Amino acid sequence: MIEKPVATMSRFLIATTLSVLAASTALADDGYIDDRSTATSTITSFYNAIARNELTRAWSYYQHEETDPAEIKAKFDEFAKGYAETKTVTVLTGEETSEGAAGSIYYKLPVAIDAVNAKGEHTQFGGCYTLKLVQPANQAEPPFRPLHIEEGHLEPAKGELSAILPLTCPD
């Protein structure tokens, strides 16, 4: 299940409804989501891929510079191993911020995550993602590079997602 992005002022409402949503089996599979138009929708799509065990698609939300097939395979295998047992994911996002730099736009997005594995065990994280979009008008040669995850800094946490969610991301 992917919690839909909301404005910061709606955190209280989400905090009170998350337990009801997480228990609903009808929301266990939100269907296929692949929207890279905003930082929030990109992270929502990333975790949708993980929850659906579409780890190759999840991997694609990062921009990879490797060209050696063996190196790509090794890094993907390590990535996939980290999410192999994940069955559902609930993600709460904060307010995204952006700033331009030399033809690119960088986004910061606070997140709180509750992942549930095959045994029903919960693992929670809080932190921030940095995403990057090279201005589309500056991309004159293929391949086109959509908005993508540059890095994530998440720390293990426990508690209500609204309490784990950082208010802002550091610069």
Nearest Cα residue to 111 out of 143, 146, 50, 154: 154
* pLDDT at 63 (0 to 100): 87
* pLDDT at 12 (0 to 100): 33
pLDDT bracket for residue 6 (50, 70, 90): very low
* pLDDT at 171 (0 to 100): 82
Q: State the pTM of this model.
A: 0.81
* pLDDT at 30 (0 to 100): 65
Quote the tokens at residue 145.
Answer: 């590079």
CA distances from 160 to 15, 66, 71, 99, 139 (A): 7, 38, 38, 30, 41
Top pLDDT among 16 and 154 is at: 154
Mean pLDDT value across residues 12-31 = 36
Mean pLDDT value across residues 72-82 = 94
- Mapped to the 3 state alphabet, what secondary structure does 91-136 carry? EEECCCEEEEECCEEEEEEEEEEEEEECCCCEEEEEEEEEEEEECH
pLDDT bracket for residue 29 (50, 70, 90): low
Q: Write down the mean pLDDT value for the chain.
A: 84
Stretch among 3-7, 17-21, 127-131, 138-142 having the lowest mean pLDDT:
17-21
H-type helices in the chain, by residue range? 11-23, 39-51, 55-59, 69-83, 161-164
Residue 143 has pLDDT above 90, yes or no: no
Residue 5 gets which letter from DSSP?
P
All structural domains of the chain, each given as residue ranges with its CATH number in brackets, are: 8-164 (3.10.450.50)
**% pLDDT > 70, the chain:** 82
Residue 90 has pLDDT above 80, yes or no: yes
* pLDDT at 20 (0 to 100): 28
Mean pLDDT value across residues 72-79 = 94
